[in-house]
Every structure is written in structure tokens, then in C-alpha cells.
Amino acid sequence: MTLNVVILAAGQGKRMHSALPKVLHRLAGQPLLAHVVAAARALKPGRICVVYGHGGEQVPVSMRADDLIFVRQSKQLGTGHALKQALPCLDIRAPTLVLYGDVPLTTIATLRRLTAGKGDHIKILTALLENPTGYGRILRDTRGKVTGIVEEKDATPVQKTVSEGNTGLILLPTKYLAGWLGRLSNRNAQREYYLTDVIGLGIADGVRVETVAPTALCEIFGVNSQRQLADLERVYQRVAVDRLLEAGVNFADPNRFDLRGSLRCGRDVRIDVNCVFEGSVRLGHGVEIGANCVIRNATIASGTRVAPFSMIDDARVGANCVIGPYARLRPATELADQVHIGNFVEVKASKVGRGSKANHLAYVGDSVVGRNVNVGAGTITCNYDGANKHKTIIEDDVFIGSDTQLVAPVTVRRGATIGAGSTITKEAPAHQLTLSRSRQISIANWRRPRKAVKGR
């Protein structure tokens, strides 16, 4: 079955107290709207239409994609009015699924159940709530058939006792929408055109109405304030950590973990507190991540240990490596197996060969480092001339003494040794000691300068 998806994302979100449109506030590192779009895409619809309004062009600029159609609702006159703006973009032959840009946790499984079937009738996602305050109520007759939806502000005291709430997510036969939306009235407490009034119109036209329940209540939670956003963040993270726990990942404290993307783990992975994983991250068997690490778009092979306070960004790390503490691997870094990158060492756009080490206070940038190389403390590759980046080549079995500057472009040949404190600007020959130092001198009778005494 082909499908239209319309995502209503025009609300201002006054209680957010922010100039940013509500649907662009971030949950797990992504805009609320991005989560809804991802779920919609999983259904493989023919069209995805986003109705935006508040915040001008911020929403389409931030979320622009080839498969998204953006339609502006200039005046926020209600959900029925919002859907009406999308009508010209819809395929009349396919049913239309209505989602909300501030309801980010609805699962694909629930949406598939909601959209299953021929799509020639109305299907509503509803939930039984202990406290349905704020939700429209599902009205049923004595036989249990849905007769309509009443918004809370328009509900009678008896209707407010109904515990079945309307989530807002609904599947509608598109061929009837133009007629139904054209007959909506704003004679209600909020003076808005309610999409929920379509239910009564559909019933009057003989269209069958069905309801579907979510797998978990968190799937229907929306965001209207910073507090609700924070609460939903914890819900999201708890769901993510439970899934990883079920897969065998060991957490020092599951409540102090943040996933802002996807994380795939092998067996016997251990993750300490306050770690953040962003983008796509893959950890091999037996990987250990120390406390307070940030890992983004990285692959870390089996047996590697990442010590606390390290950052790995868009890098590939081999097996049985030791990283950190306080190490930084920047984009386009590739480490082979058994590499050691120690405290306060930064590696950027470089390949480091098997068994090589840079254990202290070093910078390796735009370099190719061979096997079994020792990079001494305080060593830096001077790769930037103020306009262009240049490459440093360090071949296998090189020993670089502490406090060395390698001024690129430069090559250090196999087995070379660089004396401590050297500035290397020319090729260092293989299997030789290369050093560059000025002659050490001592000046007799030299006096250290003293501070002037005030008042003299």
C-alpha cells in the first residue's frame, strides 16, 4: 500500500520559552522533528509533507531533504487547518497518516499496525491513561463503537471521566479529506479547526473507524516545555540502555549514559559513567570505555581500552589499542592494532601503524606513521604553513626523541632515530641518528634580572 505522511510541525511552543521552533529542540542529539521523519521514512511512503509555521524558514532550512515537501501554515488556526494546507501535495489514491513533529518516540512497529490494511477507513492511535488531562477523549456508544472525539476544553464533566485519550496520530482515507476539511467549523472553546472533528464527519458518511493502541505509553508523549523535553530525554535513554543491557553490555551506571545516534556492541563491552555516543558507533568484543568519554562516528575493534576523558571523533581504532586518558582522535584518524595513544595526545587525519606509541603530550597531524614507531613526549608535526596542510611520513621502527618538531613536508626513513629537542626540516636517513641543536654555552658572572623596587 502506498502512503502519504503529513507531519504537523507548525506550533510555536510558547512554554518552551525559546526563539527556536519547538520541533527543532533536540532529543538525543537530534531535532524532535528528525525522530518523527525517521519513523515516517521507515514506512517507505510515497510522500512526506511537513507543515511548518512558527519560526519562519528555520524548519525547512534545518531539515531540508530531497524526500521532504514543506508547506507553510501562515496562521495557526488548528490541526484541521494545518492538514488542509497539505492537501495539494497528497496522492488522493493513497491513505494519509498524520503525525506530529513534537511526538518523537512512536515506534515503527506501532505505526505499521496503524497503517496496516487497505486504508479505506479511519484508524486512530488511542491510549488508556490513568490521568488523561490534556488529551481529547474518545467517545464510544454502548456497543463500543467510536462515535467521535471531544477536546478537553470542550468536554462535559462526564466526558472528562473517560480514560481513553486521543494521541492525535490518525490514518485517513485521502479521497474524503477535501470534503471533510472543507466542512470543519471553529465553533469551539479554542476557536480552531480541529482535525478530530473529521471523525464525526466520517462516521456520518458511513466510513468505519478503528482504534490501535501503542506498545508503550511513552510512544505518545509530546513535548510542550523544557521540563517535558528533559523527561523525554531520560525516557529515550532508558529505552536505549535497556536494549543494550539485554544485548549483554555492562554499564557502571545505566542512568549515566547518553546515546545520540546508534551504538552496536560485541560481547563483554564495558562502559563507565557519563559517556556520550554520537552518530554511528561500533564497539568490538571486550572493548572498555572509561568514564567521561565522548565517541562520535567511530569504530573501535576488539580488546581496545579507552581511558577516561578521551574523545574519539570520526576515527577507526584497531584491536587491542590503549587510548588515553585525555586523548583526542580527530576525523580521518586510523589506528592499526596495538597502538598506544596516551594522555594529552592529539591525532588528526593520520594513519598509525601496528604497535606504534605516542604516550605523552604530542600532536600527530596529516601524517603516515609506520609500525613500531615511538613518538616522544612533546613531539609535534608542524603540518600547517598558514595556508596549506602538508604531510609527514614516518616509516617503520623510528624512534623520535622528546620535544621534536617535524616540519612538513618531511620524511623520516625506516629505523631512524631523532635526537630529543630537534627541529627536523629535511629528510632523516634510515638507521641513522639525526639531530639539530644549537651549541650549549654557559655565561659566567651572569645575573638574573630583578624586579625594580617601588619608590626608587
Write the CATH number for 262: 2.160.10.10
Classify residue 289: in a domain, yes or no: yes
Whether the pTM exceeds 0.85: the reply is: yes
Looking at the fold, whether 70 and 216 belong to one and the same domain comes out as yes
Looking at the fold, whether 209 and 256 belong to one and the same domain comes out as no
Using the predicted structure, report yes or no on whether residue 441 has a pLDDT greater than 70: yes
Looking at the fold, whether 152 and 288 belong to one and the same domain comes out as no
Tell me the backbone φ, ψ of residue 235, rounded to 5 degrees. -60, -50
Using the predicted structure, report yes or no on whether residue 198 has a pLDDT greater than 90: yes
Looking at the fold, whether 182 and 330 belong to one and the same domain comes out as no
Q: How far apart are CA 81 and CA 195, in angstroms?
A: 8
Give me the pLDDT at residue 303, please: 98
Using the predicted structure, report yes or no on whether residue 377 has a pLDDT greater than 90: yes
Q: How far apart are CA 197 and CA 78, in angstroms?
A: 11
Give me the pLDDT at residue 1, please: 65
Classify residue 443: in a domain, yes or no: no
Classify residue 228: in a domain, yes or no: no
Long-range contact set of residues 191-195: C-beta below 8 Å, sequence gap at least 24:
192/77, 192/78, 192/79, 192/80, 192/81, 193/77, 193/78, 193/79, 193/80, 193/81, 193/84, 194/78, 194/79, 194/80, 194/151, 195/78, 195/79, 195/80, 195/82, 195/83, 195/98, 195/168, 195/170
Chain centroid to Cα 182, Å, comes to 40
Q: How far apart are CA 29 and CA 281, in angstroms?
A: 14
Among candidate residues 410, 416, 411, 380, the one with its CA nearest the CA of residue 398: 416
Classify residue 375: in a domain, yes or no: yes
Length in residues, the chain: 456
Looking at the fold, whether 27 and 162 belong to one and the same domain comes out as yes
Tell me the backbone φ, ψ of residue 136, rounded to 5 degrees. -65, 150
Looking at the fold, whether 273 and 407 belong to one and the same domain comes out as yes
Question: Which CATH number is 126's domain given?
Answer: 3.90.550.10
Find the domain containing 19 and state its range. 4-220
Using the predicted structure, report yes or no on whether residue 108 has a pLDDT greater than 90: yes
Only one residue has cell 595556508, namely: 387
Give me the pLDDT at residue 282, please: 98
Please say which residue of 220, 238, 272 terminates a domain. 220
Looking at the fold, whether 197 and 278 belong to one and the same domain comes out as no
Looking at the fold, whether 262 and 195 belong to one and the same domain comes out as no
Classify residue 31: in a domain, yes or no: yes
Classify residue 260: in a domain, yes or no: yes
Give me the pLDDT at residue 439, please: 86
Residue 134: which pLDDT band, with cuts at 50, 70 and 90? confident
Using the predicted structure, report yes or no on whether residue 454 has a pLDDT greater than 80: no
Residue 437: which pLDDT band, with cuts at 50, 70 and 90? confident
Report the C-alpha dihedral over residues 434, 334, 353, 293, rounded to 10 degrees: 90
Residues 6 or more apart whose Cβ sits within 8 Å of residue 255: none
Catalytic residues: 360
Give me the pLDDT at residue 163, please: 95
Using the predicted structure, report yes or no on whether residue 230 has a pLDDT greater than 70: yes
Total domains, the chain: 2
Classify residue 233: in a domain, yes or no: no
